[in-house]
Amino acid sequence: MPETPMSPTPMSQRHRITVTVNGQSHEREVESRRLLVDFLRDDLHLKGAHIGCEHGVCGTCTVLCNGESIRSCITFAVQADGAEITTVEALASGAVLHPLQEAFWEKQGLQCGFCTPGMLLRAYEMLQRDPDPDAATVREGIASNLCRCTGYQFIVDAVLDGAERMRAGASAAAASGSAETVDS
């Protein structure tokens, strides 16, 4: 609940919010109309989530909110107060790509890369639920995100390959008794 209920002008009404992004807590003041994607890009300087259509159609602004994919261009930052947001920046650790990113690299699951952050997070979300999907399931799952370049086939290939890498990583981790998971 914002502290400054209905102040003199809507412009001057600001909300203090605390949002956990990729495991790190951030406290900021935002205007009511601040879109979550602009908050991430301009206030937190996380440029991973892209802005395409700004009306919910293309999916390049996809982030995970409490583990579920949402369009950050049609969610206000003030609504993310108290939430856990995951952006594409969470996938790689330093220079080491996430297995899903490696698969996109090797299968050429991108050309210009504009849709890629959204595609990666949507695929990541899908694979959390279903680690071994078939091609039709992947195609259906990524239908929420538009790509103007690849024709989708290479993206489907990349997600299937990524799924395999993630499963291999998970079973290797289990075999070595490591508590570490591939998606950390």
Partner 1 sequence: MKPPPFYYAAPATVSEALSLLSEHRESEPRVLAGGQSLVPLMNFRLAHPTHVIDLNKVTELSFLRSDDGRLTIGAMTRQAVLERSAEVRLGAPLLAEAAGMIAHEPIRHRGTVGGSIAHADPAAELPAVALAMDAELVAASGRGERVIPATEFFLGPFTTALEPDEVLTEVRLPAAPGTGYAFVEFSRTHGNFALVGVAALLELDGDRIGRAALALCGAGPCALRVTEAERLLAGASPDGDAIGEAAEVAAAGLTPSSDAHASGEFKLRLTRIYVQRALETALARAQDRR
Ligand X SMILES: Cc1cc2nc3c(=O)[nH]c(=O)nc-3n(C[C@H](O)[C@H](O)[C@H](O)COP(=O)(O)OP(=O)(O)OC[C@H]3O[C@@H](n4cnc5c(N)ncnc54)[C@H](O)[C@@H]3O)c2cc1C
Give the interface with ligand FES as residue ranges (CB under 6 A). 51-54, 56-61, 71, 73, 110-115, 147-150
Please select the residue that binds partner 1; options are 29, 113, 132, 143, rule is CB under 8 A.
Answer: 143
* Residues 167, 51: Cα–Cα separation, whole Å: 32
Classify residue 90 by its DSSP letter: G
Residue 31 backbone dihedrals phi, psi, to 5 degrees = -75, 160
Angle at Cα 181 formed by Cα 178 and Cα 184, nearest 5°?
135
Minimum distance from CB of 146 to ligand FES (Å)? 7
* Residues 184, 181: Cα–Cα separation, whole Å: 6
Which residue, 58 or 160, has its beta carbon nearer to ligand FES? 58
- Which residue, 76, 93, 92, 89, is CA-closest to 19? 76
Q: Which two tokens stand for residue 36?
A: 């979550």
Minimum distance from CB of 144 to ligand FES (Å)? 9
From the list ligand X, ligand FES, partner 1, none, partner contacted by residue 60 (C-beta under 5 to 8 A by kind): ligand FES
Q: How many residues bind partner 1 (CB under 8 A)?
A: 36
Q: Which two tokens stand for residue 99?
A: 């297995």
Which residue, 90 or 119, has its beta carbon nearer to ligand X? 119
- Which residue, 97, 85, 147, is CA-closest to 119? 147
- Check if the beta carbon of residue 172 is closer than 8 Å to that of residue 140: no
Q: Does 35 bind partner 1 (CB under 8 A)?
A: yes
Please select the residue that binds partner 1; options are 28, 31, 111, 170, rule is CB under 8 A.
Answer: 31
Q: Does 57 bind ligand X (CB under 6 A)?
A: yes
Residues that bind ligand X (CB under 6 A): 56-57
Residues that bind partner 1 (CB under 8 A): 1-2, 5-7, 9-11, 13, 15, 31-33, 35, 38, 54-56, 59, 62, 65, 68-71, 73-76, 78-79, 122, 140-141, 143-144
